[in-house]
Amino acid sequence: MSPYPFHYHRAHTLAEAVTLLAQLGGEGQLLAGGQSLIPLMKLRLARPGALVDLNFVPGLSAIDEHSGEIRMGAMARHAALEDSELVARVPILHDCAAGIADSQVRNMGTIGGSVAEADPSGDWVAVLLTLGAQVRCTGPQGERIMPVSDFVTDAYTTMLGPAEIVQEIRVKLPPAKSGGAFIAFKRCASVYASASAAVQLTLGDGDICRDIHIALGCVGLTAVVPIAAQDALRGKPVSAKSIENAADAAMAAAEPQSDMRGSADYKRVLVRAVVKRAIDIAARRARGERVEAGHEYVARV
């Protein structure tokens, strides 16, 4: 099926993109990687009157370090983040980027587009929540910076105002003895996960969990932050028992819906499993071990 007719505008600066969106009003929509928008347009489930293309705006795909932060331009492709040595310094970011869909999608999809879409089944928001990431936006009223926790307000809903654009994602480099892991369980690479867990923790003396942040993906209208699961570990030794307690609390906090990716009960069991595994890997990484993590798939026999 072909999309409905639309006008195409190529922005050459961020200011031009903001101006175009303001002029177009509700008819205009941004084109970043297009991995979600273009299929919807082809199915005629989305019918923007005009597209404003961000792919020719210089500097929006930069990945660099500044003042102890990793700053990822909104147009940074998943594949570029996967290959970045700077991003690899925060392993949970690499886990996420390296496992998104397949290589074709990773070469086109962008971190800014993913965050702005706020898809409950997406990967980036849960990961960025555990890192206390911030979103830098630009609009007709100028720039503003807000935490990811404030930016996403509901399924497919954010704090972006009219003609406002995500410009950059900022993540502070974690302190020493920190480790993180992102585990997403899915049927195959090209589909969304049935459940996912992002964990970022910092160890203190005696293998005490000094701080921890957990976020669950695909089991709520937004990424779920299981407070009780974090409390089960924060200030306590990282042991088999405390990890089990945290996993149980995470499972209780999940709010999944039954769909083609599994029943609600199945997803709750998955949450427990992926949280347990993610905490274990995060703690091992915090101790200095090199451990692989990322997306896991249903075994086929």
Cα angle 67-110-253, degrees, rounded to a multiple of 5? 85
Q: How do the pLDDT tens digits run along the chain, 301 residues long?
A: 788 899 999 999 999 999 999 999 889 999 999 888 888 889 998 999 999 999 999 999 999 999 999 999 999 999 999 999 999 999 999 999 999 988 888 999 999 999 999 999 999 999 999 999 999 999 999 999 999 999 999 999 999 999 999 999 999 999 999 999 999 998 887 788 999 999 999 999 999 999 999 999 999 999 999 999 999 999 999 999 999 999 999 999 999 999 999 999 999 999 999 999 999 999 999 999 999 888 888 754 3
CATH number of the domain residue 30 falls in: 3.30.43.10
Domain range for 114 is 63-172
Q: Is residue 299 part of a domain?
A: no
Shared domain for 193 and 250, answered yes or no, is yes
Q: Are strands 134-139 and 142-147 parallel, antiparallel or unpaired?
A: antiparallel
Q: Which two tokens stand for residue 276?
A: 């347990």
Q: Do 130 and 213 share a structural domain?
A: no
**Are 123 and 224 part of one and the same domain?**
no
Residues 182 and 129 both lie in one domain: no
Domain termination site, one of 155, 172, 189? 172
In whole angstroms, how far apart are CA 215 and each of 123, 193, 210?
A: 10, 14, 17
Specify whether 188 is located in the same domain as 275: yes
- Which positions ≥6 away from 66 have C-beta within 8 Å? none
Whether 211 and 272 map to the same domain: the answer is yes
**Ramachandran angles phi, psi of 287, nearest 5°:** -85, -5
Q: Is 42 helix (H, G, I), strand (E, B) or coil?
A: helix
pTM of the model: 0.94
Q: What is the CATH classification number for the domain harbouring 88?
A: 3.30.465.10
Q: Name the helix (H) or strand (E) containing 76.
A: none
Check whether residue 38 and residue 74 sit in a common domain.
no
> Per the domain annotation, does 1 fall within a domain?
no
Tokens matching residue 7: 């006008």
Residues 140 and 182 in one domain: no
Regarding whether 263 and 186 lie in a shared domain, the answer is: yes
Q: How far apart are the C-alpha atoms of 241 and 165, rounded to whole Å?
A: 45
Helix crossing, 264-286 with 240-253: angle to 10°? 140
- Check which CATH number belongs to the domain holding 194 and give it: 3.30.390.50
Q: Does any domain span residue 185?
A: yes
